[in-house]
Structure 1
Amino acid sequence: MASTEQRLSALREYLKTLSAGQTTFIVEGGGEFHTSKDPFAYLLEHGAYTPDGRRIVLYPHPIEGIDALSLSFYQMIDEAIEAGKLELPELESDEP
């Protein structure tokens, strides 16, 4: 079994890989792609592809214990990734 020092070292290395304020997507093959943009903005601008052409397949997010509005947002992100891009519907308004 790993010693406490080894576990702490592994945890420190893992924490170094986490970038505060960055969005992490999972790409085909299981790799990670990090961007400074939030998931909504990134998908709206670039679609479900990284700058080097890799396909984004997942945006890791919680699925339990979250409010309905957040769940709806995450579902929209999941649908955009599945479709390959984020498209917003045309705005509608009432007649004046």
Structure 2
Amino acid sequence: MASTKERLAALREYLKTLSAGKTTFIVEGVQEFYTDKDPFTYLLEHGAYTPDGRRIVLYPHPVEGVDALSLSLYELLDEAIEVGKLELPEPGSDEL
């Protein structure tokens, strides 16, 4: 018979499969919040808050071994979470 620790580990692995393909945010109290939207879309539409009003405090992402472009996008998400919303600047172009 499996021990309690083994059963809990199996349950955690099963729960991870349920959230596969979803965006994971960490909210106050170190709880996970899942959404079907990508992080940019979610933060643009809802800001750094869950539908029930909890504050998003982190978007887990790698920090080592990441290319410069990906790292800058992760930093943009981190800044949006810090200020509470994602606002993209108006598109512009260089003078011709």
TM-score range, shorter chain: 0.7 to 0.9
**Regions of 4+ moved over 2 Å:** 5-12, 93-96
Question: What residue is the counterpart of 2:72 in the other structure?
Answer: 72
Name which of 6, 10, 13 aligns with 1:12. 10
**How high is the sequence identity, in percent, across the aligned residues?**
67
User: Within 5 A, what are the aligned runs for 1:51-90?
Assistant: 51-90=51-90
Per the alignment, do residues 85 and 94 of structure 1 end up closer, same or farther by CA in structure 2, a change over 3 Å counting?
same
Question: What residue is the counterpart of 1:37 in the other structure?
Answer: 37
Structure 2 gaps, min length 5: none
Deviation per CA, 1:51-73: give whole Å up to 9, x if none.
00000000011111111111111
Structure 1 gaps, min length 5: none
RMSD across aligned positions (CA): 1.8
Alpha-carbon separation, structure 2, partners of 1:95 and 1:70: 27
Normalising to structure 2: TM-score of the pair?
Answer: 0.85
